[in-house]
Amino acid sequence: MKAVITVLGSDKVGIIAKVSSLLAKKNVNILDISQTIMQDIFTMIMLVDFSGSDCKVSELGEELEKCGQELGVSITIAHEGIFNSMHRI
């Protein structure tokens, strides 16, 4: 099972470290990552794999939201099925 995580907000030290550490604790593998700064706004998109984790997308979403609040950024997660369904219409 795969999901897409997005992170948006003001750039600061430690965003990638904090998010990737949380994923590692949950045994969620990062398959691909794209990160850039767009006019002082930090943007990151990650494709992650839940195959080795017993964590549910909804549980991780809550933890990522808390993490985002601590960092002052917005973090969202969406199951890949949402993207697949959007492209079938």
Handedness of CA 52, 58, 64, 66 (dihedral sign): negative
CATH class of the structural domain 2-88: alpha beta
Residue pLDDT, tens place only, 14-47: 999 999 999 999 999 999 999 999 998 999 999 9
Tell me the pairing of strands 73-79 and 2-10. Answer: antiparallel
pLDDT range class, residue 1, cuts 50, 70, 90: confident
Q: Residue ranges per domain, the chain?
A: 2-88
- Distant-in-sequence, close-in-space partners of 29: CB < 8 Å, separation ≥ 6: 23, 48, 49, 51, 52
Amino acid 86: pLDDT: 59
- Distant-in-sequence, close-in-space partners of 35: CB < 8 Å, separation ≥ 6: 16, 42, 43, 44, 45
Q: Is the pTM value of this prediction over 0.85?
A: yes
